[in-house]
Amino acid sequence: MIVLIGGEKGGTGKTTLATNLAAQRSATGHRVLLLDADPQGSASNWTQLREEAGIMPQVTCVQKFGPALVAEIQPLAHLYEDVIIDVGGRGDSLELSTSLAVADTAIIPLQASQFDLWTLARMDKLVATAREVNPSLRALVVIGRASSHPLVSEAAEALSALADYPQLQRIATVIRDRIAYRRSSHEGKSVTEIAPADKKAIKEVQDLYAAVFEK
């Protein structure tokens, strides 16, 4: 399966979700490639930290962007069971449109506190264009880095605004702002691999995993 994590903005948690999904998927015995399509290389850095710390299972990561990515997604997809593409931040990017054209599932994290209709309108259009060549593409919006304060309803507001964008399907899972995400990524781990365990973060990642891989 080809899964991309992409969107317009930086800092919404794309790399964090990509690395968590890659670790989870590898842990269940699948041959996974994490494809780092962001010149900033955060997914590659995470993999390197993971390797240096000897955390198992190892996750294979290669960095490709620009025309090299366009040429190599499909050949790479034949070598692995799953390819998880961490697309960089720019919405006009070749990496995003190329990945959308071949992916089974696109995950679009939106940060509720910076919630922005322009982003949704643009992603809706990009997904519509991609579906002309890739009609079975699933496009899932997940609210990311939402406040973990129960009184803040920004996540609910963001979800209701999504109703206006027919190409985008909302998923009920909300990824909240939790220290566990930050800590685990800085150690080359997923949230399921750190102690003490943050059960809420683990549940969020498991729910996202189920939405992507166990549809």
The one-letter code for the residue type at 190 is S
Question: Which one of 36-44, 120-128, 140-148, 169-177 is the stretch in contact with Mg ion (CB under 5 A)?
Answer: 36-44
Segment contacting Mg ion by CB under 5 A, of 11-19, 48-56, 76-84, 129-137: 11-19
User: Residue 190 binds what, of Mg ion, ligand ADP, none (CB under 5 to 8 Å, by partner type)?
Assistant: none
Q: What is the rounded radius of gyration, in angstroms, for the C-alpha atoms of the chain? A: 16
Q: For Mg ion, how many residues bind (rule: CB under 5 A)? A: 3
108/8 Cα distance (integer angstroms): 9
Q: Let me know if 214 is exposed, middle or buried by CB neighbors in 10 A (0-12, 13-18, 19+).
A: exposed
Q: 5 or 155, CB closer to Mg ion?
A: 5
* 99 binding partner (options ligand ADP, Mg ion, none; Cβ < 5 to 8 Å by kind): none
State how far Cα 172 lies from the chain centre: 15
Instruction: Report if residue 42 touches ligand ADP, rule: CB under 6 A.
Output: yes
- x/- string (CB under 5 A) for Mg ion, residues 41-80? -x--------------------------------------
- Cβ-Cβ contacts under 8 Å for 172 (sequence gap 6 or more): 207
CA angle at residue 214 from 77 to 105, to 5 degrees? 45
Identify the residue among 12, 105, 173, 190 touching ligand ADP (CB under 6 A).
12
Whole-angstrom distance, CA of residue 109 vs CA of residue 106:
10
**Which of the listed partners (ligand ADP, Mg ion, none) does 175 bind, with a CB threshold of 5 to 8 Å by partner kind?**
ligand ADP
Using the CB atoms, write b or e for 64-83: b if 16+ within 10 Å.
bbeeebbeebeebbeebebb
Shortest approach of ligand ADP to residue 16 CB, angstroms? 3
- Footprint of ligand ADP on this chain (CB under 6 A)? 10-16, 42, 89, 145, 175, 177-178, 181-182, 185
Please report, as ranges, the residues that interact with Mg ion according to CB under 5 A.
14-15, 42
